[in-house]
Amino acid sequence: MATTNGKVQLHCPVPKPETEIITLGHGSGGILTNQLLDSGVFSLFQNQYLDERHDGSVLRLNGKIAFTTDSFVISPIFFPGGNIGELAVYGTVNDLAMCGATPEFLSLGLILEEGLTMDDFRKILTAIKAAADLVGVEIVTGDTKVVERGKGDQIFINTTGIGHLHPQANISACRIRPGDKIIVNGEIASHGIAIMSVREGLAFESDIRSDTAPLHQPVLALLDAFGENIHCLRDATRGGVATVLNEITRQCPLGIDIRETDIPVQASVAGACEILGLDPLYVANEGKFLSFVAAEVAGEALALLASIPGNSQASIIGEVVATHPGQVIATSIIGGRRMVGMLPGEQLPRIC
């Protein structure tokens, strides 16, 4: 009846097995690390690359490659609409997509806090595998570290991704021109509100779920159809749509006009924002991106995007202008104009 942490407990009539947990020994590099590797926890990732059990994997790549990294420290690790596992896959997949690349290979770096239950760990790894399979991306190299209780927070995940650039991709903030239309691929602000609802124990309408989703399909469809007319792409994660737009106006010295009436927000999310006094423009997304598109193809691009499942609420929310460089101006529902700055301070820490 000795248990994993060395304590002996007696129960009658039948001993209840103690929950398996991650211990510091699992990060030692020694027997326990190898037992963890052999335990089946990781076997769902089995492929020719990981079977080598070397310090890295060898890939064949040719041409222009996008390379991007992201660490995920979201709290809570399970939330309405997903968990940190799929978020970590889609987050990096989406960063590759924003470069105009097809996601192909991911690395997986795990920092586990001692005491994480093996059950939660398995759920997260299962979500990682399912997300990777959905996208068609392979996890080819990884690393696991364990830190003492109170020196981490259950699990942090780093994913770093590689993918070949779409042959017609030429994505850069420098390519944005006055007149470009700005398209968002759907309703904004659900991720941030979903996380906030769990974090703050608020009971919003039950349909508010994180929008976490892979974005490579709509992006690759846009590039297939419109190539170099897609000038720039950005996913609107931390800091929301407003922050991305402001970053863009800093990088290309142009202005941006948006119309609040054209920005799609799910009614329940809009309601929650109102209750909380939040502007949806600043709330984080995990499945929304902005395309800066040459005006002449904007209508067609919108129609294409809206025809792709999950993107039916796509909308042209505004355009790039030569006036007021460096500023984002929103026209409100009643016609007033206001400057939309970057997210000041911290809205909600650890949103991704």
Please, which of residues 14-53 interact with a copy of itself by CB under 8 A?
Answer: 23-25, 27-34, 52-53
Q: Which amino acid is at 333?
A: I
Distances (CA, A) of 264 to 34, 236, 257, 314, 321: 49, 14, 16, 8, 22
- Residues 313-342 interacting with a copy of itself (rule: CB under 8 A): 341-342
Q: Residue 187 carries which DSSP code?
A: -
Dihedral of alpha carbons 306, 307, 308, 309, sign:
positive
Q: Least distance to a copy of itself from the beta carbon of 240, Å?
A: 8
Binding residue (CB under 8 A) for a copy of itself from 84, 98, 131, 290: 98
The Cα angle at residue 242 between residues 186 and 227, in degrees rounded to 5: 55
Q: Residue 117 carries which DSSP code?
A: B
Nearer to a copy of itself, 100 or 186 (CB): 100
Q: Least distance to a copy of itself from the beta carbon of 13, Å?
A: 32
Nearer to a copy of itself, 201 or 345 (CB): 345
Nearest to 160 by CA among 69, 57, 96, 85: 69
Burial of residue 178 (CB within 10 Å: 0-12, 13-18, 19+) is: middle
Q: Residue 162 carries which DSSP code?
A: E
Q: Residue 286 carries which DSSP code?
A: S
Q: Least distance to a copy of itself from the beta carbon of 103, Å?
A: 11
Binding residue (CB under 8 A) for a copy of itself from 3, 5, 17, 54: 54
Quote the CA–CA distance of 341 and 247 in Å, as a whole number. Answer: 10
Could you identify the residue written with the tokens 């067609």?
A: 300
Residue 83 sits in the site that holds a copy of itself (CB under 8 A): no
Binding residue (CB under 8 A) for a copy of itself from 12, 58, 203, 334: 58
Q: Least distance to a copy of itself from the beta carbon of 11, Å?
A: 26
With CB under 8 A as the rule, give the number of residues binding a copy of itself. Answer: 87
- Residues 112-171 interacting with a copy of itself (rule: CB under 8 A): 140-143, 145-148, 150-153, 156, 158, 160-162, 165, 171
Nearer to a copy of itself, 156 or 226 (CB): 156
- Residues 225-254 interacting with a copy of itself (rule: CB under 8 A): 234-235, 237-239, 243, 247, 250-251
Q: Least distance to a copy of itself from the beta carbon of 190, Å?
A: 17
- Residues 251-310 interacting with a copy of itself (rule: CB under 8 A): 251, 282, 284
Q: Least distance to a copy of itself from the beta carbon of 334, Å?
A: 27
| Peptide bond just before 214 cis, omega within 30 deg | no
Residue 199 sits in the site that holds a copy of itself (CB under 8 A): no
Quote the CA–CA distance of 114 and 94 in Å, as a whole number. Answer: 30
| In contact, 207 and 282? CB cutoff 8 Å | no
